[in-house]
């Protein structure tokens, strides 16, 4: 393509954008709630790719307190979280090894009482409850074109986890917010 054609195409695309049609992908509205708790837009938005429709599914656990939650954009799963409240003391865990099967996963400091192994697309979390005989476990799976498969890619998921987990622990009467 000649320089003149490229410039013409760029000018036309700019004009079309100004008119409200799009030369880029559509942006789905980032939900204010995920898994029946409010979440900050700036913690969830970096995980949500461009798309036209967002659908969520919430399934309450039957055997004990907990839930599984899925967020899909244009039919593709972007975020899946499995949550369980345990009314017993947690088993000992070597948090430096929990994430070893996953690329770029490591034990990371979190903003709530507990432990986490977080990578760019996966996290295992143990949040402490207000009593020594209870805790909550979270498994988080993140997929799609927003995953940054780099040593620092975990930061997106960490921001979401630091916002989301304390709200879920409060919802299940594990902690008070």
Q: What is the pLDDT of residues 36-87, one digit of tens each?
A: 999 999 999 999 999 999 999 999 999 999 999 999 999 999 999 999 999 9
Non-local (6+) Cβ contacts of 166 within 8 A are: 111, 112, 127, 175, 177
Confidence of residue 27 (pLDDT cuts 50, 70, 90): low
CB 52 within 8 A of CB 74: yes
- pLDDT at 15 > cutoff 60: no
Give pTM, 2 decimals: 0.83
Q: Report phi then psi at 116, rounded to 5.
A: -155, 140
Is the per-residue pLDDT at 16 higher than 70? no
Output the average pLDDT for the chain: 86
Phi-psi category of 22—alpha, beta or left, where left has phi over 0 and alpha has psi -120 to 50?
beta
pLDDT-derived band at 29, boundaries 50, 70, 90: confident
Are β-strands 106-107 and 135-142 bridged in parallel, bridged antiparallel, or unpaired? unpaired
The larger pLDDT score, comparing residue 96 to residue 74, is at 74
Give the pLDDT band (50/70/90) at residue 177.
low
Pairwise CA distance, residues 116 & 155, whole Å: 13
């Amino acid at each position: 393509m000649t320089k003149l054609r490229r410039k013409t195409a760029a000018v036309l695309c700019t004009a079309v954008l100004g008119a409200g049609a799009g030369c880029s992908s559509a942006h789905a509205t980032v939900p204010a709630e995920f898994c029946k708790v409010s979440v900050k837009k700036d913690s969830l938005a970096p995980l949500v790719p461009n798309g036209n429709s967002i659908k969520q599914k919430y399934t309450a656990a039957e055997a004990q307190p907990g839930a599984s939650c899925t967020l899909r954009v244009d039919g593709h799963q972007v975020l899946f979280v499995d949550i369980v409240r345990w009314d017993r003391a947690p088993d000992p865990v070597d948090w430096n090894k929990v994430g070893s099967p996953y690329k770029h996963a490591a034990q990371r400091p979190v903003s709530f009482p507990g432990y986490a192994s977080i990578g760019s697309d996966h996290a295992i979390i143990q949040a402490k409850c207000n009593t020594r005989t209870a805790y909550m476990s979270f498994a988080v799976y993140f997929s799609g074109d927003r995953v940054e498969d780099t040593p620092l890619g975990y930061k997106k998921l960490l921001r979401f986890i630091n916002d989301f987990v304390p709200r879920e622990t409060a919802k299940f009467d594990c902690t008070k917010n």
